[in-house]
């Protein structure tokens, strides 16, 4: 992993840990709960990816990720006293950055480990969305990936763009930055204009939705 990709990976961990810590604050969890939620958000997707691919889990090989998560969680507790006053959109923006970064980096790692392109894109999507899913489930919230949000679609776009650009000979750094930008743009546009996918709805004979 080049220096740029390594720093992007660290930045993604910080951003996702921040989003998990902010979510914990909104639901008034204790400091241990803040750290747990920050951790599962930041490393949950990558852990699942590495287990599926049969490689050493990244934070086991490099415990610095755990120290970064702990530091981020503690700084969030110390510096942000009133999480409920933080606009919900800030949490969505932090999550969008983490989603785009991890989706692309997860795809890149899967390809390096010899996974087929289709599998690599799925692994990238899992890397981007699984941590947020675990976070939301622990907070008893329906995960964004299961709602109408354009969420997993943005993660998949990032992986597809990375594969496409790599195939046409772009350097790893250029392909990564471009793919992250594409995924992030789609996610931010969906948030700003409140664009969503159509909901699946069943109407009973009396006209009530279920």
Q: pLDDT digits over 73-110, tens only?
A: 999 999 887 766 777 788 888 899 999 999 999 999 99
Q: Is 208 exposed, middle or buried (0-12, 13-18, 19+ CB in 10 A)?
A: exposed
Q: Is 207 exposed, middle or buried (0-12, 13-18, 19+ CB in 10 A)?
A: exposed
Residue indicated by tokens 């691919």: 53
Strand partners, 209: 203
Per-residue pLDDT band at 204 (split at 50, 70, 90): low
Identify the residue with better confidence: 106 or 201. 106
* 8 Å CB contact between 16 and 96: no
Question: For residue 88, what pLDDT is reported?
Answer: 75
Question: For residue 185, what pLDDT is reported?
Answer: 97
Q: Name the pTM for this structure.
A: 0.92
- pLDDT at residue 148 greater than cutoff 70: no
Residue-wise pLDDT tens digits, 51-68: 999 999 999 999 999 999
Question: For residue 50, what pLDDT is reported?
Answer: 98
Q: For the residues 181-206, what does the mean pLDDT come to?
A: 84
Question: For residue 103, what pLDDT is reported?
Answer: 97
């Amino acid at each position: 992993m080049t220096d740029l990709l390594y720093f992007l990976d660290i930045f993604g961990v910080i951003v996702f840990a921040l989003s998990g810590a902010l979510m914990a604050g909104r639901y008034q969890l204790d400091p241990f709960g803040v750290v747990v939620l920050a951790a599962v958000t930041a490393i949950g997707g990558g852990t699942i990816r590495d287990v599926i691919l049969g490689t050493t889990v990244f934070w086991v090989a490099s415990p610095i990720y755990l120290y970064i998560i702990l530091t981020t969680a503690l700084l969030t507790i110390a510096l942000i006293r009133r999480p409920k006053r933080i606009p919900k959109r800030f949490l969505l923006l932090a999550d969008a950055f983490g989603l785009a970064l991890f989706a692309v980096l997860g795809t890149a790692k899967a390809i390096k480990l010899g996974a087929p392109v289709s599998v690599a894109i799925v692994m990238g999507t899992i890397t981007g969305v699984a941590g947020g899913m675990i976070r939301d489930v622990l907070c008893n919230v329906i995960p964004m990936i299961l709602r109408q949000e354009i969420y997993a679609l943005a993660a998949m776009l990032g992986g597809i763009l990375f594969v496409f650009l790599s195939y046409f000979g772009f350097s790893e750094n250029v392909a990564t930055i471009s793919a992250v930008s594409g995924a992030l743009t789609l996610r931010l546009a969906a948030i700003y204009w409140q664009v969503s996918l159509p909901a699946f709805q069943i109407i009973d004979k009396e006209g009530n939705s279920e």
